[in-house]
Structure 1
Amino acid sequence: MKQLVCRTIALAISLAIAAPAFAQPGSNARQLEQAIDQSHRALEAILNGDPSLYLALFADRDDITLGNPFGPFGQGRAQVAATLANAANKYQRGTARVEGVAVYGDGNFVCLVEIEHDRTQLAGSDEFSEFSVRVTSLYERISGQWKLAHRHADPITTARSAQSVLGK
């Protein structure tokens, strides 16, 4: 996991160096690195039944959003907290490896695209399961800190037919 985390952080740093907006006074690529690292630790916490680290990463306001494979989008702090808790209740004894795909942004917003490769026990099972999800996270710089404004994860990591979106 550390190698892929380093790759994601390297992408973030290269964006920080290449994007002129990051060079503006008050911006801090190190804080972005820390936020991304915290999100990877929060992922492992979710896979061990603990939603609190992820909730701490989200901005504290009513327009934040979270989408995951278990239901509709949660919007606002209360719904995001409930959506995280619902996901965390499904897992135990998990680990993750994160693959950075792309980073886009400026001094106030960063969009991070990753693939998470997870290994965990589903709650109530003795067997480990492995799965991957594609993830898009939107960070906003608020009062000098990078906070999540949006996160979306779904299990579509391979090509699918047009019929697959019909849900039949």
Structure 2
Amino acid sequence: MSSWALFHDQVRASVSAFVSGDAEPYKSCWSRGSDCTVFGAFGGVVRGGAEIASRLDWAAAQYREGRYTRFEVLADAAGADFGYIVHLERVESLDADGATVVRERRVTHVAREEQGQWRIVHQHSDPLVEVAPPR
């Protein structure tokens, strides 16, 4: 199995842990560089390794008993030192009152090879919505 395929599997497993409230596996997939960015599903823009680690801890803590009911890779590719994964996801979790919350999103991860290891340098996630013309 190629290093890219192994990384791809690592990302998929780590986001499953993430929606169960454990950010550590996903954080281990990330570069620590100051040029890394997150445009996360909970809003805002985060830049830099330390800031991203903090945001990921916070975001994972928002999930209770989360699980993926859809993880559909639409595209992925890797060159010599950059790659990307584009997927659709559906996550079910519980809110503070115990009610089920369903989140459907479109997600892009961009990664680069750093010292022989693939690391995420950008993630963009936002709600998956129906096509609608501008108003």
Q: Same fold (TM over 0.5)?
A: yes
Name the structure 1 match of 2:124: 152
Name the structure 1 match of 2:87: 114
Unaligned runs of 5+ in 1: 1-28, 164-168
- Pairing partner for 2:67 from 95, 120, 125: 95
More helix by share: 1
After superposition, where does 1:20-31 map in structure 2 within 5 Å?
A: 30-31=2-3
User: Structure 2: how far apart are the matches of 1:112 and 1:157?
Assistant: 20
User: Structure 1: how far apart are the matches of 2:50 and 2:82?
Assistant: 23
Could you report, residue by residue, the CA deviation over 1:95-139 in whole angstroms, capped at 9, with x for unpaired residues? 1131011123412111111111111113x1312222211001001
Structure 2 letter corresponding to 1:108: D
- Assess if the C-alpha contact under 8 Å between 2:4 and 2:78 holds in 1: no
Structure 2 letter corresponding to 1:125: D
Could you report, residue by residue, the CA deviation over 1:132-156 in whole angstroms, capped at 9, with x for unpaired residues? 1100100111111111011111113
Higher Rg: 1
After superposition, where does 1:1-80 map in structure 2 within 5 Å?
A: 30-80=2-52
Runs of 4+ off more than 6 Å: none
Could you report, residue by residue, the CA deviation over 1:4-43 in whole angstroms, capped at 9, with x for unpaired residues? xxxxxxxxxxxxxxxxxxxxxxxxx621112111111221
Name the structure 2 match of 1:140: 112
| Secondary structure, counterpart of 1:160 in structure 2 | coil
Structure 1 letter corresponding to 2:83: V
Aligned-pair RMSD on alpha carbons?
1.6
User: Structure 2: how far apart are the matches of 1:91 and 1:141?
Assistant: 30
Task: Give the count of matched residue pairs.
Answer: 134
Task: Give the TM-score of the pair, scaled to structure 1.
Answer: 0.73
User: Structure 2: how far apart are the matches of 1:65 and 1:92?
Assistant: 25
Q: CA shift at 1:157, angstroms?
A: 3.9
Percentage identity across paired residues of the two chains = 25
